[in-house]
Chain A
Amino acid sequence: MALPPEAAGHAVESSGLGGGSAAHKPGVRRDSVVIRFAGDSGDGMQLAGMQFTAESAIAGNDIATLPDFPAEIRAPAGTLAGVSGFQLNFSSREVFTAGDEPNVLVAMNPAALKANLDDLPPNGVLIVDREAFSEANLKRAGYTSNPLTDHSLDKFQVFQIDVTKLTTLALHSTGLNNRAVFRCRNLFVLGMLSWLYQRPIESTQRWLESRFKKTPELLEANLMALKAGYNYGDTTEMFASSYEVPAAKIVPGTYRNITGNSATALGFVAAAASAGRPLFLGSYPITPASDILHELASYKNFPIYTFQAEDEIAGVASAIGAAFGGAIALTTTSGPGMNLKAEAVGLAVKTELPLVITDVQRAGPSTGMPTKPEQADLLMAMYGRHGESPIPVIAASTPADCFDCAYEAVRIATKYMTPVILLTDNQLANGAEPWLLPDVTKMPKITVELATDPNGFMPYKRDSETLARPWAVPGTPGLEHRIGGLSSEDVTGNVSYSPANNELMVRTRARKIAGIAREIPPTEIFGDADGGDLVVLGWGSTYGSLREAVKQMRAKGKSVSHIHVRYVNPLPSDLGDQLRKFKKVLVPEMNMGQLIKLIRADYLIDAIGFNKIQGRPFKVSELTNRMTRALEDGK
C-alpha cells in the first residue's frame, strides 16, 4: 500500500468483467476487480488465490487479500462446512481492503456457490464448474433443484465451464489417476483467470517448479493444467475479451508480496540481526500463528533457534530461559495460548527480561472460530495477568506493518528490559499485500549492551533514563546473581517482603512502561488536522476498512478523519488532546468495545462504539453508514 500521496483519494469505482456495456471489447480496462475463489477445502482455492495475488502484484497492481477458510482441514467433501474462500482486490489505484463484495465469484461446487452467492451483487460474474453440480453434490449442499438450470441465477452473468472435463482432457497424456487430475482443477481455473485479466503466469510456473521439485510428474500435470486454462481462455468464445487492470502508481522500489505472519517472522529476524543476538522462538502450534514458527524454523543459519515446546506454557517459559541467557526471545500464539502463558509472562514482568509475545488473534471465546479474525484480546493483553503487571502493547495494522511492529517490539523489549505484546490477527496473518522492501541499513539500530562490569553491578540498578535494569547473562564473570518471581529489593534484587519496597518496585515498573510514551511519534491525523465533526479511532487490522471508508466520506465532503493507533500501551501522550479536537469520536472494533474502554478511562471522552463480532472484517459500506449516522444524530 505504499502509494504516493497524489495517488490517494480516488473515488471508488470498480466492476468485474462484463460489468458494463463496454464489456466485450478487447482489452477492456478496469480500475479494480474483486475476485473470490471458493471451493471445497481440498480444491486448492487458497493456493489459486495466493498465486493470482502474486501474479497481480508482479503486474504492478495494488492488492489486498482476505483468505477465509474453515477450521477443519478436510470437512466432508461438498458440504457447506468445507467451503474455503480467498478474496482478492487488485487495482490500478490504492486499495485498503479486499473489497466488500466480489465482482467475480468462482464456485467450484454447489456448496461454494451456496455459501458465497449472497455476497455477489446483481450482474456480478459467476464462474462455475458445471460438472461439479451433480445430483449428489447438490444434495450435499442442500439444493433441491439445480441453480444452473432453474433460473435462480438469472440476475448474474453465469459462465458454466466444464473445468473437470477440460482438465481431464488436458492431462490425458500424463496417465495420472482421476484423483490426481481432479486436484489440478485449481490450476486450470487459475490459468483461465490469468488470461482473462492479462496476468503473467511465469511466477506461478516458478512456484510450481519449486513446489513439485521432487515429483516431476505432478509438476508437469500442474503446469499443463495452468497452460490449458490459459489457452482455454484465449480460444474459447465464451469470453469475448480479456481485461486490463493497469499498474497502480506505486512508490518506486523493490517489492514483494507479503502476508502478515511472514512479515512478523522477518521483522523478528531483522531485529535480532540488528541487535547482533541469536533469536530464540519457543512456541506451540496453534492456528493462525503457526506459520511464524514454520518460517523462522527455516532460517536456522542466522542463527535462529525454534523450539516446538510441549505446550503453550513451555513455549513462553523456554523463551524466558533463553532471554535470561541473552537471546532475543519470542513466543507466538493465539488467544487461548495467551491465557496459558499469562503466569509466565508475569514472571518476565517481575524479572524484567526482554521477551516478545505475539498474539495472532482469532475469534473466541474458547476455541471459537479459529480461522476467523477478531480483536477481542486487547484487554487481555493489557490486563490479563495477576498483580500489577504493565506490558507495552503494539498492534499491527496491515500485513506489511507486521514487519515494522515486530521489529519495534524487539527494540522496546530490549531497550526497556520488559516483555512486549505484539497483537496481530488472522486477517493480517493470512492476508497479503505488496511490500516495499525496507532498507535494513536505515532502520533504527537495536543496540543491546549486555552488562559486563562487576564493579558496582546490581541486578536491579536501573538506567536513569529508561529505568531498565541491566541485562546480565550467565557466563559473565563476577555478575553471578539470582532472580525470581518473589518480590525483590530495589537495586540489589534480593528477596524482600518490605511493604514500602514492594510498592516502590511496582510503581517503578509502571513508570518504566509509561515512560515509553516519550518516544512514541506524535499522533497522525488523516483528514482534518485541526479537528472536525468526527474522528474515527481504530487499531489493528481494521486500518484498511477504516481508511477506505473515511476517504469515501471525505470525497462526499464530510468532515470525517481517521486516527489509527499502533501503540496501545502506552498510548501516545498527545492522543487525548488530538481526540478532543473533534466533536465526536467513533471507535469501530471487531470486539464488544475494548479500546473504547481505555479511551473513556484515560481521557474521559464519551466515544461512540461500533462493534462487529462475526469473525469478519468490517465492510466499508457498514462503516460509511455508521459514520453517516454518527454525523447525523451524534450517536
Chain B
Amino acid sequence: MATALTRKDFVTDQEVRWCPGCGDYAILAQVQKIMPEFGIPRENIVFISGIGCSSRFPYYMNTYGFHTIHGRAPALATGLKVSRPDLDVWVVTGDGDGLSIGGNHLIHALRRNIDFNILLFNNRIYGLTKGQYSPTSEVGKVTKSTPMGSVDYPFNPITVALGASATFVARTIDVEQKHLGETLKRAHAHRGASFVEILQNCNIFNDGAFNDLSDKAIKADHQLVLEHGKPLIFGKNRDKGIRMNGQRAEVVTLGEGATEKDLVVHDETNLALAFMLANFEAPMPAPVGVFYATSRPTFEAAMNAQLAEAKAKQGVGDIATLLKRGDVWTVN
C-alpha cells in the first residue's frame, strides 16, 4: 500500500438514510474507524447484507458491496468466500433477517465455519416494516402485529450461534464504541466464522430496549464484561462477582463472604461456560464480550485444499481429455 488509509477512505458519497438517532450510525462510524487498522486494500473488502434497516450498511462503505435479499446474505457470502478466499468478507444482518427468514443460512454458515464476520444488529424489532415483533422480541411485547402481546418465545442469538457450532461468538453494544471496536477487531482476527451480536437501539419502534446496558447511570450494575482469564466481576463499584454454587451460577458481593478467588474465571474456550453465560437472565447481569472462541479448519480452506489436491494428482483439467473419458469408439 502506498499510503495508509483513513476512516474517510471508507465513507461513500451516498446519503445515509437511517432515522436520526438510530444505533446504526454508531456502528457504521466504528466500522469505518477500525477498517484502516486492518491494512487491507479497499478493493479486497466486501460487505454483504440482506434486507432490513441494518442491511443498508454496504451502501455506506466505500468497498465492494452487495445488498442482497432477505435472509440470504450468509449464503451469498458463502459462494463468494469459497470461490474467492482472498477476499475479506463481512456479512451485515439483523434479528429478523438473520434469525427469522434467514435463520437456516445463518446456522449453516456458522457450522461450516466460513471465514467471514457476521454482524447481527439486534434491536429486537422489525424496523423497516414499521414495528412488528421480531424473533428476539420478548414474550408479551405489544406491537402492531401483537396487539395483545407476543406469545412467541424468543431466540437468544448467542445460544443459537453456540448451538450452531460457531467458532467465535461475541456480544457488544452500539453505544459502547470502544468495546464495539475491540470486539470487531477480535472478530476480524479470528479465522473462521465470527458471530457478533450488536445490541442496537431502534429509537423509533423499540426505544430503550437495552437501556439497562447502555444507560451510563445504571449499566455497570447490569453489564458483565467478559475478559478471557479474568474473574467475572461487575457493578458500579466492581464489587459483584459470579460464583458457582454447585452447578449453578450466582451473584455474590465481594467482601461479603466471597473473595475474588471464589469467582468464576472467564475461559473463552469453555463451551459449557459460554452456554451458561449466554443464558443469564435477570437478576443475573447480561454478559458482553467474547463468549466463545475456538479454532477449527474453515470450509473454504478445506474445499480449496481438495481442489489443489485434485490438481496435484490429476493435473489441470483438460476438457478434450475429459470428453473422451470412459468408453469411446471411433467410426471411420
**Per-residue contact bits, chain A 315-335, to B (CB 8 Å; 1 contact, 0 not):** 001111111111101000000
Q: Taking CB as reference atom, which chain A residue is nearest B77?
A: A321
CA distance A316 to B12 in the complex (A): 29
Which residue of B12, B69, B84, B314 contacts A326 across the interface (Cβ within 8 Å)? B84
CA distance A175 to B323 in the complex (A): 40
Task: For A60, list chain B residues within 8 Å (CB).
Answer: 329, 331
**Per-residue contact bits, chain B 76-107, to A (CB 8 Å; 1 contact, 0 not):** 11111111101100000000000000001100
Q: Taking CB as reference atom, which chain B residue is nearest A494?
A: B14
Task: Tell me which of A152-160, A299-307, A542-550, A555-563 binds B.
Answer: A299-307
Which residue of A256, A273, A305, A344 contacts B327 across the interface (Cβ within 8 Å)? A256
Q: Would you call B72 and A440 a contact (CB within 8 A)?
A: no
Is A481 in the interface zone, CB < 8 Å from B? Answer: yes
Q: Taking CB as reference atom, which chain B residue is nearest A484?
A: B67
Q: Would you call B317 and A474 a contact (CB within 8 A)?
A: no
Q: Would you call A483 and B67 a contact (CB within 8 A)?
A: yes
CA distance A437 to B327 in the complex (A): 12
Q: Would you call A484 and B78 a contact (CB within 8 A)?
A: no
Is A149 in the interface zone, CB < 8 Å from B? Answer: no
Interface residues of A in 458-514 (CB under 8 A from B): 473-486, 494-495
CA distance A91 to B314 in the complex (A): 38
Most buried by A among B76, B306, B332: B76
Is B310 in the interface zone, CB < 8 Å from A? Answer: yes
Is A343 in the interface zone, CB < 8 Å from B? Answer: yes
Which residue of A311, A346, A484 contacts B66 across the interface (Cβ within 8 Å)? A484
Q: Taking CB as reference atom, which chain B residue is nearest A256?
A: B328
Is B193 in the interface zone, CB < 8 Å from A? Answer: no
Q: Would you call A278 and B316 a contact (CB within 8 A)?
A: no
Interface residues of A in 210-243 (CB under 8 A from B): none
Which residue of B12, B84, B322, B328 contacts A266 across the interface (Cβ within 8 Å)? B322
Is A252 in the interface zone, CB < 8 Å from B? Answer: yes
Which residue of B65, B310, B315, B322 contacts A483 across the interface (Cβ within 8 Å)? B65
Q: Would you call B43 and A479 a contact (CB within 8 A)?
A: yes
Which residue of A257, A302, A303, A321 contacts B78 across the interface (Cβ within 8 Å)? A321
Q: Would you call B80 and A322 a contact (CB within 8 A)?
A: yes
Which residue of A207, A257, A299, A347 contacts B322 across the interface (Cβ within 8 Å)? A299
CB distance from B52 to the nearest CB of A (A): 12
Q: Would you call B63 and A321 a contact (CB within 8 A)?
A: no
Task: For B330, list chain A residues within 8 Å (CB).
Answer: 252-255
Q: Would you call A475 and B322 a contact (CB within 8 A)?
A: no
Task: Given A299-B317, A302-B316, answer yes or no on A309-B80 (Cβ-Cβ < 8 Å).
Answer: no
Task: For B67, list chain A residues within 8 Å (CB).
Answer: 482-486
**Per-residue contact bits, chain B 290-320, to A (CB 8 Å; 1 contact, 0 not):** 0000000000000100110111011111011
Most buried by B among A54, A346, A473: A473
Is B249 in the interface zone, CB < 8 Å from A? Answer: no
| Interface size band for A | 35 or more
CA distance A57 to B330 in the complex (A): 11
CB distance from A95 to the nearest CB of B (A): 16
Task: Given A252-B332, A256-B327, answer yes or no on A485-B68 (Cβ-Cβ < 8 Å).
Answer: yes
A contact patch SS: mixed
Is A133 in the interface zone, CB < 8 Å from B? Answer: no
Which residue of B66, B314, B326 contacts A256 across the interface (Cβ within 8 Å)? B326
Is B75 in the interface zone, CB < 8 Å from A? Answer: yes
Q: Would you call B72 and A344 a contact (CB within 8 A)?
A: yes
Task: For B58, list chain A residues within 8 Å (CB).
Answer: 482, 484
Task: For A495, list chain B residues within 8 Å (CB).
Answer: 14, 59
Q: Taking CB as reference atom, which chain B residue is nearest A331?
A: B79
**Per-residue contact bits, chain B 52-72, to A (CB 8 Å; 1 contact, 0 not):** 000000110111111111001
Is A58 in the interface zone, CB < 8 Å from B? Answer: yes
Task: For B59, list chain A residues within 8 Å (CB).
Answer: 482, 484, 495
CA distance A317 to B79 in the complex (A): 7
Is A193 in the interface zone, CB < 8 Å from B? Answer: no
Which residue of A273, A438, A474 contacts B43 across the interface (Cβ within 8 Å)? A474
Task: Given A313-B72, A317-B75, answer yes or no on A255-B44 (Cβ-Cβ < 8 Å).
Answer: no
Is A354 in the interface zone, CB < 8 Å from B? Answer: no
Q: Would you call A54 and B316 a contact (CB within 8 A)?
A: no
Q: Would you call A474 and B46 a contact (CB within 8 A)?
A: yes
CA distance A318 to B105 in the complex (A): 10
Which residue of B76, B316, B326 contacts A301 across the interface (Cβ within 8 Å)? B316
Is B21 in the interface zone, CB < 8 Å from A? Answer: no
Q: Would you call A303 and B311 a contact (CB within 8 A)?
A: yes
Q: Would you call B78 and A477 a contact (CB within 8 A)?
A: no
Is B140 in the interface zone, CB < 8 Å from A? Answer: no
Q: Taking CB as reference atom, which chain A residue is nearest B49?
A: A484
Is A38 in the interface zone, CB < 8 Å from B? Answer: no
Is A606 in the interface zone, CB < 8 Å from B? Answer: no
CA distance A165 to B87 in the complex (A): 64
Task: Given A270-B319, A282-B79, A302-B316, answer yes or no on A250-B68 (Cβ-Cβ < 8 Å).
Answer: no
Most buried by B among A250, A305, A476: A305
Q: Would you call B331 and A253 a contact (CB within 8 A)?
A: yes
CA distance A301 to B316 in the complex (A): 5
Q: Would you call B62 and A321 a contact (CB within 8 A)?
A: no
Q: Would you call A321 and B76 a contact (CB within 8 A)?
A: yes
Is A314 in the interface zone, CB < 8 Å from B? Answer: yes
Task: For B309, list chain A residues within 8 Å (CB).
Answer: 300
Q: Taking CB as reference atom, which chain A residue is nearest B72?
A: A317
Task: For A325, list chain B residues within 8 Å (CB).
Answer: 79-80, 83-84, 87
CB distance from B284 to the nearest CB of A (A): 34
Q: Taking CB as reference atom, which chain A residue is nearest B62?
A: A480
Is B108 in the interface zone, CB < 8 Å from A? Answer: yes
Which residue of A247, A301, A437, A481 contacts B328 across the interface (Cβ within 8 Å)? A437
Is A310 in the interface zone, CB < 8 Å from B? Answer: yes
Is B41 in the interface zone, CB < 8 Å from A? Answer: yes
Task: Given A305-B303, A324-B66, A482-B65, answer yes or no on A310-B105 (Cβ-Cβ < 8 Å).
Answer: yes
4 closest A-B pairs (Cβ-Cβ)? A484-B67, A318-B79, A321-B79, A302-B317
Further pairs besides A60-B329, A207-B327, A305-B303: 19, Cβ < 8 Å: A57-B327, A57-B329, A206-B327, A247-B331, A252-B331, A254-B324, A299-B322, A301-B310, A307-B79, A309-B78, A311-B104, A314-B105, A317-B79, A321-B75, A321-B81, A344-B69, A437-B328, A482-B12, A484-B66
A-B contact pairs, 18 of them (CB 8 A): A253-B330, A254-B324, A273-B317, A299-B322, A300-B307, A300-B310, A303-B310, A303-B317, A304-B317, A314-B108, A320-B68, A321-B75, A321-B77, A321-B80, A325-B79, A474-B44, A481-B65, A485-B69
